[in-house]
Amino acid sequence: MKDYQFTIEMETRDYECDLQGVINNANYQHYLEYTRHKWLQSKGQSFQQWHNQGIDAMVAEINMKYKTPLHGQEEFLSCLNLRREGARFIFEQDLYRKSDLKLCLQATVHIISVVNGRLSKGDELAQLIDIE
Amino acid sequence: MKDYQFTIEMETRDYECDLQGVINNANYQHYLEYTRHKWLQSKGQSFQQWHNQGIDAMVAEINMKYKTPLHGQEEFLSCLNLRREGARFIFEQDLYRKSDLKLCLQATVHIISVVNGRLSKGDELAQLIDIE
Amino acid sequence: MKDYQFTIEMETRDYECDLQGVINNANYQHYLEYTRHKWLQSKGQSFQQWHNQGIDAMVAEINMKYKTPLHGQEEFLSCLNLRREGARFIFEQDLYRKSDLKLCLQATVHIISVVNGRLSKGDELAQLIDIE
Amino acid sequence: MKDYQFTIEMETRDYECDLQGVINNANYQHYLEYTRHKWLQSKGQSFQQWHNQGIDAMVAEINMKYKTPLHGQEEFLSCLNLRREGARFIFEQDLYRKSDLKLCLQATVHIISVVNGRLSKGDELAQLIDIE
């Protein structure tokens, strides 16, 4: 495992499995979103609070490489790095099976921000999350 | 099949199946909600529109009897009857497998209404959906 | 709060909310299922393992009373009592908001068991979970 | 709109919306999967049937660009093109809002196949879906 700015422990739930007995692909997006929200919470911020201030963060693009499937009731680590590229906030998010640290998912999520209904250059968001 | 006030045809989706290869129990609630919304739409109404007028309809109670499991990519009929009991709007909602009309789910859903933040006796909703 | 045989702490996730900003009704069923699986896990059992032994536990009936809505990122207690009534295993499952112990959901879930493809009188399951 | 090998009409459902009143990001993956399964069905094939023959198709990589958000009860077109690149089957999948054909989602999905538990070069799958 490389270094990450933020890591949480999670566990899959049986109802997230599909016919093949592995976690349905779409649920990984839930895990990624949940991790970003937890990271925000750790900074005393929330999407809800931003929304009330007229700032909306939205996923513009997401790339996911499925490496090893997770199964039901399996623990994993959800790790996150963030950098800014102009108007885009790029989250590198990786999931590792906890038992052997095998890489399960490698994702890149591009977030953009809309302030008072207009696409922003990202400065408001950068200030809120204290990133250059 | 008995008589119903409203019926739509639906089809299960593979991603709604769980480990056992049948539709996950919680998804039936989605089917029921979707059917009520379609029924409303057929009357030119919508929950969104009500919400904007300060009227919120909410599920107070739901009873579901699981009779026969639905599988992936299976067609079914979703049927609805409605009666009012004071402040409560009682939806009788049954799902039938389309191929042989076998009863799959038998549900009763109690809806209450909140108008401008206060629990209502139901008269506003009754008027909107034209029920005595 | 009354006494329960099993209690876990859970937290809602933002993606479980709907248009009205509260947890979508169907997700409560996920919480209930998750709690039953955790309870089983605490007894060294699992549905997956039973399935492999030819024993399938299935929801026959579920009744839910929605008392107070949960919101995103909200902690709650998920509590469970179990009794057997012949072939049926009756789970009383209640959810309480953690901050003030307000009752959010009151549910009764009837589980039946199928052994080698035939509806069982429940003795196999009763033995596995050590209930009279 | 460009040309596509396969197109279906779909409609969003209210329960797929999130807090912001738009379809939650993860649900788009469900739409894409559903469309692939419908495409397969139009060819007389199914993942379930393949699974029983020892052939499993799996998502290896997915890239999604979110262009315009879909709202509840909104109709859209789900379009699909497929090409093979060695062991990978590349689905180009685009979603358009039906009312004005505005592009909502642009996705690329890489599918690989596992035959009898071993990663395949793709020839079995190519034969089943009649692609060079």
- The ipTM estimated for the assembled molecules is 0.93
Percentage of chain C surpassing pLDDT 70?
100
- Give backbone dihedrals phi and psi of C109, rounded to 5 degrees, phi first: -125, 125
B73 and D30 in contact by Cβ < 8 A? no
What pLDDT was estimated at residue D85?
A: 96
> Tens of pLDDT along chain D (132 residues)?
899 999 999 999 999 998 778 999 999 999 999 999 999 999 999 887 888 889 989 999 999 999 999 998 899 999 999 999 999 999 999 999 999 999 999 999 999 999 998 999 999 999 998 887
Residues of C in contact with B57 (CB under 8 A): none
| pTM for the model | 0.93
A132, pLDDT greater than 80: no
Domain count across chain A: 1
C108, pLDDT greater than 90: yes
Task: Give the model confidence (pLDDT) of B107-122 as tens digits.
Answer: 999 999 999 989 999 9
Q: Classify residue B1: in a domain, yes or no.
A: no
Q: How far is C12 from chain D (nearest CA, A)?
A: 13
Task: Give the model confidence (pLDDT) of A50-92 as tens digits.
Answer: 888 899 899 999 999 999 999 988 999 999 999 999 999 999 9
B92 CB within 8 Å of a chain D CB: no
What pLDDT was estimated at residue C89?
A: 96
CATH number at residue A67: 3.10.129.10
Q: For every residue of chain D, which 3-state class applies, written as one string?
A: CCCCCEEEEEECCHHHECCCCEECHHHHHHHHHHHHHHHHHHCCCCHHHHHHCCEEEEEEEEEEEECCCCECCCEEEEEEEEEEECCEEEEEEEEEECCCCCEEEEEEEEEEEEECCEECCCHHHHHHCCCC
Q: How far is C48 from chain B (nearest CA, A)?
A: 8
Task: Give the model confidence (pLDDT) of C7-40 as tens digits.
Answer: 999 999 999 998 778 999 999 999 999 999 999 9
- Give backbone dihedrals phi and psi of C100, rounded to 5 degrees, phi first: -135, 10
D:47-86 residues touching chain C, CB 8 A cutoff: 72
CB C112 within 8 A of CB C58: yes
Q: Classify residue A1: in a domain, yes or no.
A: no
Closest CA to A15 of C33, B2, B63, D68: C33
Residue of B nearest to D13 (CA): B34
Section A1-23 average pLDDT: 92
Q: How far is B5 from chain A (nearest CA, A)?
A: 33
C92, pLDDT greater than 90: yes
C34 CB within 8 Å of a chain A CB: yes
B43 CB within 8 Å of a chain D CB: no
D33 and A25 in contact by Cβ < 8 A? yes
What is the extent of the structural domain holding D32?
6-128
> What single DSSP character describes residue A130?
T
- Neighbouring subunits of C (3+ Cβ pairs under 8 A): A, B, D
Q: Classify residue A75: in a domain, yes or no.
A: yes
Section B63-77 average pLDDT: 96
Closest CA to D59 of A36, A81, A27: A27
Q: Which of D26, D63, D66 shows the shortest C-beta gap to A26?
A: D26
C14 and D19 in contact by Cβ < 8 A? yes
Q: Classify residue C1: in a domain, yes or no.
A: no
